[in-house]
Chains A and B, each alone.
Chain A
Amino acid sequence: MPPRFRPSFFTSSTRPLLTPKPNSTPLQIRLTSNKPPTPPLLLSQRLHALSTRLTNRARTSASHFLGHPLRALAFALKFLAFGHLLMEYGIWPRAVAGPSMLPTIAVAGSWALIDFTHRFGRGVQVGDLVAYHIPINTQSGLKRVLGMPGDYVLVDTPETGGETMIQVPPGHCWLIGDNLDASRDSRLFGPVPLGLVRGKILAIFQPFRSFEWVKNPMLAQ
């Protein structure tokens, strides 16, 4: 059978162009593979290969975390610490209760969305609601800011007719509850150090019932 004419660049599969003659020394570097080309995989075969590869990887990564007790411990530690960081500096809801902030916050069942990036009174203005550590015990409270450092505030309750005033000392704020009758606040324990302020209240909500953004009444005017 006479050879059919072919252009040279099609011939590599049958007779590679660079294959040396049988009796000459073999070349050190081979540019083309001698292996026969693998036939293309069927889709089902590919999927099977992919799934085995993934299960293998999952198995090894599971053993990576669980195989060594120290590694599992380190992972748990990192996870907890990261969660702590988020809880400490993020925005989180907290349940609030008590009659001191009536009628802004109901006696029970309300939640406050607290922005903890406002800790230590960063960016807090007069009229905002803040969460703070109560200076005379170990609990936390929620009150309205009526004075920041250098402001002038009334020490007495307005309705009593008292006229004693002070200037809020540096690094402190003046916190008063909205329900003057039932609030234990700066009238009792004096100016609160800003170091005890934990965050600013963004919203008050009752799950599945109501949601209300807290507006600063002083900024609207």
Chain B
Amino acid sequence: MAPWGSAGKTTPRFLGQFSHYLFRYATWLPVLIAFNSYVAQVTWIRGPSMYPFLNPQYNESLRKDLCLVSKWSPHRNLERGMIVVFRSPENPHVTVVKRIVALEGDVVRTKPPYPYEHAKVDVGHVWVEGDGDKTKDSNYYGPVSTGLITGRITHILTPLDRAGRVRWWEHAEREGVQKAQAS
């Protein structure tokens, strides 16, 4: 039962409610940021470097794959074949997606842009390569420090016909990797 006299108060009340809800939702923003950097994140894959595993239609359509990236302890338990997300060694503000080909201690037979025929992967580093031909990977900038890795791709979310868990352990091993004895 709003009396006439209160009609003039609706505008400030609306503003007050609006800012109240704005504040209440803004307090969730740090939670979202922490979740995205430590638990999981959903991200679009751009570019053809992981063709044909991700973005198989990169030259036919603009459709991009949507993937789930697990951010939980990204430096630990890395295995050959995993698809990882890391900051590009060339530009820290760019994040790239590649497959781990070799772990520390392995000797890799490199591909063309690399100046030497064989490369031993240093301690604390991994050798990453894209699945496709159009890829700028360890053959270009050398082994990548595991400190740069921010997550690993665990699931494909869209398109729905390929959606599901990334079965990285079923991926064929790359030829020319001489595994280290310890691992």
B positions within 8 Å CB-CB of A: 27-28, 30-31, 33-35, 75, 87-93, 122-125, 141, 145-148
- Given the complex, which residues of A lie within 8 Å of B88, measured CB to CB? 171, 195
Stretch of A11-19, A38-46, A129-137, A152-160 that contacts chain B: A129-137
Docked complex Cα distance between A120 and B148 (Å): 11
Do A171 and B91 touch (CB < 8 A)? yes
- Given the complex, which residues of A lie within 8 Å of B31, measured CB to CB? 77-78, 81
A positions within 8 Å CB-CB of B: 77-78, 80-82, 84-85, 120-121, 133-138, 169-172, 189, 193-197
Do B124 and A81 touch (CB < 8 A)? no
Q: Give 21 CB contacts A-B under 8 Å.
A: A78-B31, A80-B34, A81-B31, A81-B34, A82-B27, A82-B30, A84-B34, A85-B34, A121-B92, A134-B147, A135-B125, A138-B75, A138-B124, A138-B146, A169-B141, A171-B90, A193-B89, A194-B92, A195-B92, A196-B147, A196-B148
Do A81 and B33 touch (CB < 8 A)? yes
Known: A78-B28, A81-B34. A136 touches B89 (CB 8 A): no
Q: Which of A77, A78, A136 contacts B124 (CB 8 A)?
A: A136
Do B89 and A81 touch (CB < 8 A)? no
B60 CB → nearest A CB, Å = 32
Docked complex Cα distance between A39 and B122 (Å): 86
- Given the complex, which residues of A lie within 8 Å of B122, measured CB to CB? 136, 189
Do B28 and A138 touch (CB < 8 A)? no
Do A195 and B89 touch (CB < 8 A)? yes
B115 CB → nearest A CB, Å = 13
- Given the complex, which residues of A lie within 8 Å of B148, measured CB to CB? 193, 195-196
Do B124 and A137 touch (CB < 8 A)? yes
- Given the complex, which residues of B lie within 8 Å of A137, measured CB to CB? 123-124
Docked complex Cα distance between A81 and B28 (Å): 9
